[in-house]
Structure 1
Amino acid sequence: MINYNLLESQIDNLAKSFAEAKPIRHLTIDNFLSEEVANQAFSVFPTMEEMDVLKDFRQDKAQDPAINKFNLIFSELVSQHLHSERFLALISRISGIPNLRTDSKLYAAGLAQGGNGSFLNVHIDNSSHPVNPWYRRLNLLVYLNKHWAEENGGNLELWSPDMSESVAILPIFNRMVIFATDKQSWHSYRRVNTLDGDTRKSINLYFFTEESADGTHYYHVTSFKARKNEILNKIVYPVDNLVRTVARALRPNKDAHAVLYEQKGKNDRKNP
């Protein structure tokens, strides 16, 4: 399913590209899946109505970790390939992050989709797994958008902490992106413009370690930041982040709200 030959034959070059990328360490790989698998995943991708929708002033998209509800190709791709020891060893070498763990519960992961007007504003993800004592370390995205052009928007944006530098990555068909996640890994995606009814489709996964990115203990909720031209958000987001941080800290189980995918008989993998 995965183009392992491409990854394994270029592993040193890919690791170098990841390490040198700015403003966040990241890597983009096209033709990531075999053509047959990519086409099949595109053809059976669920509709927006079949997925859970997240819509507020921070975001407008569908996200669903319960991939067993959908075509078998998605659970096979995740469990047998993207969560395999072979692939885990590859992305560990590429990223330089040892002891990576997969998350069979697919916290905040699974399939994602956005129709016309969809967006995800600049943010850093929740630092930790809601059940296991793990820190989030890598985000992986596989895009399944045929005939996607710049005018369709939806570009993944990676930002420097002071918002002075960014890179935009077009979510074209069969493109995979991984990027490092830590306390300063600000990212977003631009508003989608698809008046023809098309949608921005992706498979989203996260990888964790027991150690934090900087070796210290920290916790933060998913926190949003305004772009330089977003005057109202510069006022709203700091207050919103603070309120959610305080509310989370007061809960006996601060991440009890998390929606998880229950895979019976599956264990989380650790890089050997």
Structure 2
Amino acid sequence: MIDFAFLEEQREDLRLNFLLAKPFSHLVIDNFCEEEKLLQLHAELPEIQTKSRDYVFAANKFEKSRIKDISPLFAELYNDLTSDRFQTFLRFVSNEAVFVDKDFHGGGIHQGKKNSFLDMHIDFNYHPLHKFWYRHLNLLLYLNKDWKVEYGGHLKLKDMRSGEQKSIAVPFNRMIVQLTGKYTLHGYDLTHFPDGMYRTSIAAYAYCLHQNHVEKPRTTDWHPQDGSAIKNLLARIYDPAVKMKNKFFGSSTARNQ
């Protein structure tokens, strides 16, 4: 389903685009998949019922990590995203020995329903279930058929070091490969999709294998932009609270199958 011929033919340019992008390394690839197949897959999209547990930092965001059992087309896309061929491409573009998490922990289908938003945040760094897997890339394939600018939902990027920002549109069949790190803020503002349309993406994450922790392990680090005193307080206590909850009750993200 992925247009590998295009990726491999353009890989030198795509690598430069990724490494030189501002505010931090990212890559926008349009027509990432074969159009007809992706349109057929879009017609098979289920409505996701499992709500994200991001609480006050997100609204109406639903997730399902296990996509390969939905249909043969979803299985084909899953197999392409986890294939050696795609990982070889990602390693060349990012100049890192990355691999895609085949369990799609925290990934899979993401649906932002009516009035959805996702506050600016930094992703967890080490995989909750694999101690030395360091998260290096977000892979976001957008399925927003007939998307219009006024619907919103643009992916917002901000470098915490420089303050530089960028907003990226999220139309159908666009893949965004985004560096993740301790300064790579991202999120999206309140959406205005018509009734029955959702901000939809398929997310996968690529990791590097570390021999030791080079950063202190963290969960999602929230940086809400609305200035709410309550949100700012909750953001400060979120990491230790989630770590404590996971220690005793396990990861709820892992159960969003």
The CA distance in 2 between the partners of 1:115 and 1:259, in whole Å, is 19
Offset at 1:145?
Answer: 1.1
1:218 is matched with which residue? 216
**How many Å apart are 1:164 and its aligned residue?**
3.1
CA distance in 1, matches of 2:248, 2:165: 32
Q: 1:211 to 1:202 in 2, by over 3 A?
A: same
1:3 alignment counterpart: 3
Is residue 122–residue 186 contact of structure 1 (8 Å, CA) maintained in 2? yes
Structure 1 contact 104–261 (Cα < 8 Å) conserved: no
TM-score, with normalisation over the residues of structure 2? Answer: 0.90
1:116 corresponds to which residue?
114
Contact 2:64 2:256 in 1 (8 A): no
Q: What TM-score, normalized to structure 1?
A: 0.85
Structure with the larger strand share: 2
Superposed CA offset, 1:219-243 (max 9, x none): 111011132xx221xx334432332
SS in 1 for 2:115: coil
Does the Cα contact within 8 Å between 1:139 and 1:206 map onto a contact in 2?
A: yes
Number of residue pairs matched by the alignment: 254
Residues 261 and 246 of structure 1, relative CA distance in 2, 3 Å threshold: closer
Structure 2: gaps (5+ residues): none
**Alignment partners' CA distance in 2, 1:262 and 1:152:** 27
Calculate percent identity across the aligned residue pairs: 31
Asked if the contact 1:142/1:202 (under 8 Å) is kept, the reply is yes
Alpha-carbon distance between aligned partners in 2 of 1:252 and 1:142, rounded to the nearest angstrom: 29
> What is the deviation of 1:250?
4.3
The question of whether the paired residues in 2 share the 8 Å contact of 1:106 and 1:261 is answered with no
Does residue 230 of structure 2 align to residue 231 of structure 1?
A: no
Find the aligned partners of 1:30 and 1:106 in 2 and give their Cα distance: 22
Aligned runs of 1:49-128 on 2, under 5 Å? 50-54=48-52, 56-60=55-59, 61-68=61-68, 70-78=70-78, 80-98=79-97, 100-128=98-126
Unpaired runs of 5+ in structure 1? Answer: 264-272
Indicate conservation of the 8 Å contact 2:50/2:256, yes or no.
no
Report the alpha carbon displacement of residue 249 of structure 1 after superposing the two structures with TM: 4.6
Task: Give the whole-Å Cα distance in 2 for the aligned partners of 1:56 and 1:139.
Answer: 21
